[in-house]
Structure 1
Amino acid sequence: MKKRLSILVLFLGIYSFYAQENVTPSNVGNNFSLEGALATLKDVSTIEEFEKLINQEKSDVNNLDLNNDGEIDYIQVEELVENNIHILVLSTFLDENEKQDIATIAIEKTGEEEAYLQIEGDSDLFPENTLIEPFDSKEVIKSNSKGPSLFDIEWKSIVVNVWTWPVIRFIYAPNYVVWISPYRWRYYPLWWKPWAPIRYSVFYSRNARHRVYFRTTTIRRSTIARKIYLPRRRTSTIIVRNNRNTTIVKKNKRGTTVIRKKSRR
């Protein structure tokens, strides 16, 4: 299984480099890797560590510049908790007063040692109901109609129980303190050094490794998490639709909505 996945990673990297060179994202959210965020979460032990890693250039998770200032936006992580549900809200400040949610990670504990999660891209940046989740495969033996001694082997995708992830056990531990990022507009950690956004085709190629273990799905695992989050969702009056035809919607001092469109690059 691991060997097959390694070959797939190599293939994705080569294909991405040649086939995606001139591709531009259809949605601005594509400059943030939802799969990369989950891959990072899988390898950390705390939410604080998770926030730090997704804001590092080498992680190949973030390529967003939503306020068009020529620098990557800092991604803030805040946690909502209700009973057995944890929701990680990934967002960014676009100026002193404007804040835009980028994605949410809904985590629900469903048993003593059982938990499932999904990440959903915000509908301002991604298509509606963009859901990504970890998956694995298992062999399924099916009988073959050609004879009693013959059988077929198929690979079936299964949803992953994420209880084994260190960070999941950490957030469900007794006396856990909910993480609320202390950072905001122009108040960032000393270790953070913003960089200039790179071409989308390059970004897409670099995060190919993240897409191997995660898949899109149309099934929402936790409808309760969605209900908890929606009343607290943050959106900005500055909306960047895509890199080719950027639409900026902003209210002026008189309360009038001003729309500006950039020409194609």
Structure 2
Amino acid sequence: MKTKILFLALMTIGFSSCAVQSQTTVYAKNSDISDNLDLRAVASIFGESANLQDFERRLNDPKYQISNLDLNNDEQVDYLRVIETVEGRTHVVIIQSVLDRDVYQDIATIDVERDNYNKVSVQIVGNSYIYGDNYIYEPVYNVSPVIYSSFWVSNYRPYYSAWTWNFFPTYYVAWRPCPIYRYRSNINVCINVNNRYNYVNFRRSYRAPVLYETRRCYGYERRYPNRSFSHRYANVNNRYDLDQRRLASRDYNRNQNVYSNNSSNWGRSSGREYGYSNKNYAESRNSTSNRVYNSDRPATDRGNAARGNNSVRVENNSRRESREYSNEGRANTSLGNSENKMNQNRTVSVSRTESSGNQSSRGYNQDRSTSENRSGAARSQNTQRSESRDVSQESRANGQTQRQNNSESRGGGRRG
């Protein structure tokens, strides 16, 4: 029974592992086979070479490191040999990678053709297995290359490299392939910026493809038929389209990163600005409220002493000034009232003297009272009362003096 249970458990584990393996996802790599040899660099050194032998030497010189291909995975950069086929005015230069004994893989071809007007056209065509269909560059050289003069001479013999597997020239020393990003940075130094490299998607020569088929080598394609560019990228035609998509995705990611950084920085800055503004608003609000409150409270308050001395001094000065202004106003008002009272008293005394003089000259008490009543009507009620009292007292005194005079005059008459 136990053996059956163990057998069933092993069977279930085996089926589950198979299901997991069937669901394994294969992720595309950032690098590609075509990234290891830049055809613009090939076109650049082709224009600087004296002949095809010099061109092969430049391709494999460890000082330049034009190639970074390692198709046989031996941790060494493959040697690139050069062969040529010629027909009439058309020269097809084939670049092949040496993988093993009598095993070669075509990497690119250079179509050189001269028309009836002695105009030379050059096209560097990438192999469709590595670069995709119709991946072609047309270099426009700033100076006419010297290598052209070696092609159209009498008794010209096509170039065919003598180097093969484990039989390489003395200048060649194999080096280890470097990462793609380092290769790209190094290869830019080898590209002549004075030239122009125009991308096209068609071949100008109709003879070149026919000549190429006679010397074609595809040892790597036979070993790995599923590693062609069409199998690696189903929706991309060639390396040029791949570069365009890479640039678009790179720009998109860059814009997304810039947008995210700007949004985060904006959030931080806005938060700081709002924080500072709220803080300043709170401080200004507290300061204004404290100033208003302190202006109502006396200067001996502890809260005012705890706050700034400057505000207290300003407030005390304002209070002193207000008190001085109030005292001056009160003094002015008191002086004005005293002056008004003095003027009123003066006018009353003058009127009294005038009325007494009129009474003595006229000698009629009734006329005096009537004149005083008329002048008193123009004055205030208080002055009328005081004047009437004074007049009555004066009239009584005058009456008494008149009586005494009359009595004296009567007594004097009797005596006489």
| TM-score grouping bracket, smaller chain normalisation | 0.5 to 0.7
Residue type of the alignment partner of 1:102: I
Q: Is 2:224 the counterpart of 1:224?
A: no
Q: Is 2:179 the counterpart of 1:205?
A: no
Matched with 2:99 is: 94
SS in structure 1 of the partner of residue 147 of structure 2:
helix
Q: 1:134 aligns with which of 124, 136, 139?
A: 139
Superposition deviation, residue 129 in structure 1: 1.1
Q: Is 2:78 the counterpart of 1:73?
A: yes
The answer as to whether partners of 2:112 and 2:122 remain within 8 angstroms in 1 is: yes
**Hey, what's the Cα distance between the residues in 1 that align with 2:69 and 2:78?**
6
Aligned pairs, number? 196
Matched with 1:179 is: 159
- 1:185-225 Cα deviation digits (max 9, x unpaired): 11111111000000011111222252852132113111211
Superposition deviation, residue 166 in structure 1: 0.4
Superposition deviation, residue 104 in structure 1: 0.4
Q: Is 2:244 the counterpart of 1:238?
A: no
Answer 1 or 2: which has greater helix percent.
2
- 1:90-133 Cα deviation digits (max 9, x unpaired): 00221113210111001001135310010111112111111011
Matched with 2:30 is: 24
**Hey, what's the Cα distance between the residues in 2 that align with 1:195 and 1:176?**
35
Q: Is 2:130 the counterpart of 1:125?
A: yes
Residue type of the alignment partner of 2:119: E
SS in structure 2 of the partner of residue 92 of structure 1:
strand
Residue type of the alignment partner of 2:223: I
The answer as to whether partners of 1:114 and 1:161 remain within 8 angstroms in 2 is: no
Matched with 1:4 is: none
The answer as to whether partners of 2:137 and 2:197 remain within 8 angstroms in 1 is: yes
Matched with 1:40 is: 45
SS in structure 1 of the partner of residue 128 of structure 2:
coil
**Hey, what's the Cα distance between the residues in 2 that align with 1:61 and 1:171?**
24
**Hey, what's the Cα distance between the residues in 2 that align with 1:208 and 1:53?**
15
**Hey, what's the Cα distance between the residues in 2 that align with 1:180 and 1:231?**
14
Give the root-mean-square deviation of aligned CA atoms: 2.4
Residue type of the alignment partner of 1:93: V
Answer 1 or 2: which has greater strand percent.
1
Which runs of structure 2 are paired with 1:95-114 in the superposition (5 Å)? 95-114=100-119
Pick 1 or 2: higher relative contact order, CA cutoff 8 A, min separation 6. 1
Superposition deviation, residue 227 in structure 1: 1.6
The answer as to whether partners of 1:34 and 1:61 remain within 8 angstroms in 2 is: no
Unpaired runs of at least 5, structure 2? 1-28, 233-416
SS in structure 2 of the partner of residue 111 of structure 1:
coil
Superposition deviation, residue 174 in structure 1: 2.1
Matched with 2:55 is: 50
Larger Rg: 2
**1:170–1:55: structure 2 CA closer, same or farther, 3 Å change rule?**
same
**1:94–1:179: structure 2 CA closer, same or farther, 3 Å change rule?**
same
Q: Percent identity?
A: 28
**1:57–1:214: structure 2 CA closer, same or farther, 3 Å change rule?**
farther
**Hey, what's the Cα distance between the residues in 1 that align with 2:188 and 2:38?**
10
SS in structure 2 of the partner of residue 57 of structure 1:
coil
Matched with 2:307 is: none
SS in structure 1 of the partner of residue 167 of structure 2:
coil
The answer as to whether partners of 2:134 and 2:202 remain within 8 angstroms in 1 is: no
The answer as to whether partners of 2:83 and 2:161 remain within 8 angstroms in 1 is: yes
Superposition deviation, residue 49 in structure 1: 0.4
SS in structure 2 of the partner of residue 80 of structure 1:
strand
The two structures have a TM-score, normalised by structure 2, of 0.44
**Hey, what's the Cα distance between the residues in 2 that align with 1:231 and 1:218?**
23
**Hey, what's the Cα distance between the residues in 1 that align with 2:64 and 2:130?**
21
The answer as to whether partners of 2:70 and 2:76 remain within 8 angstroms in 1 is: yes
